[in-house]
Structure 1
């Protein structure tokens, strides 16, 4: 077997896990199944990921990074928080939701599996902590670059953004209706913008 650097193996195994999870579901995906999908002995996989929990955590981390990248790609943060919210929500939906129901189902299954499996409850909490932290940091950067204030804490804005999108995603997965979803997405965006109550930072000194 050719030698591969640990970082390459890591990506290879996460990709194999995502394929197996999407095909078989979380409950039926074992380390042995992922090793078979990757075409390596079980021991090779376990050297990088000694437990299923660690492998699932790596899968979640990769999906979260995809979410962060979708937000970064959708909006120029120098344009301020309102613009970031409007473009970011739309960009996230277009890139990671519409036409990608399998990815969203996998994420929900990961959450439910973690909540219902003894000893793995912390994984679900960590998953949502990471989602909201990524969104909160992204919102804060947009406001700071434009020298703006937000009417609510960024962490709260992020939690409500994640919660709103979660609900709309579940509806879309159960009953795909792109036109209706886009209308509802626009309504959610308006609510978030209104909640943020973006204002120019009064402490900003202009020349």
Structure 2
């Protein structure tokens, strides 16, 4: 029992440090963040941070892993069975965009961390894991949404998911650079129609 409590306490402290890293990154940006600032935001001393994480890279990788997990969980939380694949596509994309609008700072941070891991030879697999995770969330959402109606087309739902993720990526970046809500709404509807047409034409 004592060992279990120690393990649990260590896991909680590690998560506390990672949450502090996310807060520090949102506040200062990737270029300016330091392990000292992360420790301050986490409410721990610098020695404690380095006990759990060898260096800043390790903390940043932990932060991206947490963001991936949280975003994937949020994206999959509101999935319900739909009447047909067209309705399923519309609802999944609309719900995803609603979440994205509520997490602007996290979206910016996520792109920063993704590019950072791609430049870090020891963490490049994490960027791949991130996109694979999001594509799997969308694929599972489509599969669950049409569970009772079947897939009326021959398109692979994994390919459909990657098409949608690619489109969402472009819309997110454009919106972050220039948050024009009317344009974003028009483009989102076009992505929905394109995704529906891709399915219904196969």
TM-score of the aligned structures, taking structure 1 as reference length: 0.80
Separation of aligned partners in 1, 2:53 and 2:85? 39
Work out which of the residue numbers 111, 117, 127 in structure 1 matches 2:130: 127
Q: Quick one: structure 1 residues 10 and 196, their matched pair in 2 at CA, closer, same or farther if it must change by over 3 Å?
A: farther
Work out which of the residue numbers 69, 87, 93 in structure 2 matches 1:65: 69
State the shift of 1:78 in Å. 4.7
Contact 1:70 1:88 in 2 (8 A): no
How many pairs were matched up?
196
Separation of aligned partners in 2, 1:57 and 1:149? 40
What are the equivalent positions in structure 2 for 1:1-207 lying under 5 Å apart? 5-96=9-100, 98=101, 100-197=103-200
State the shift of 1:184 in Å. 0.7
State the shift of 1:191 in Å. 0.9
Separation of aligned partners in 2, 1:107 and 1:148? 32
Deviations 1:23-81 (A, max 9, x none): 22223334333122111123323444445444334333333333334433444125443
Contact 1:148 1:198 in 2 (8 A): no
Q: Which residue of 2 aligns with 1:204?
A: none
SS of 1:152's partner is coil
Q: Quick one: structure 1 residues 127 and 68, their matched pair in 2 at CA, closer, same or farther if it must change by over 3 Å?
A: closer
TM-score of the aligned structures, taking structure 2 as reference length: 0.82
State the shift of 1:198 in Å. 8.9
Unaligned runs of 5+ in 1: 200-207
Contact 2:80 2:144 in 1 (8 A): no
SS of 1:187's partner is helix
Root mean square deviation, CA, Å: 2.6
Separation of aligned partners in 1, 2:149 and 2:71? 23
> More displaced, 161-170 or 118-127?
118-127
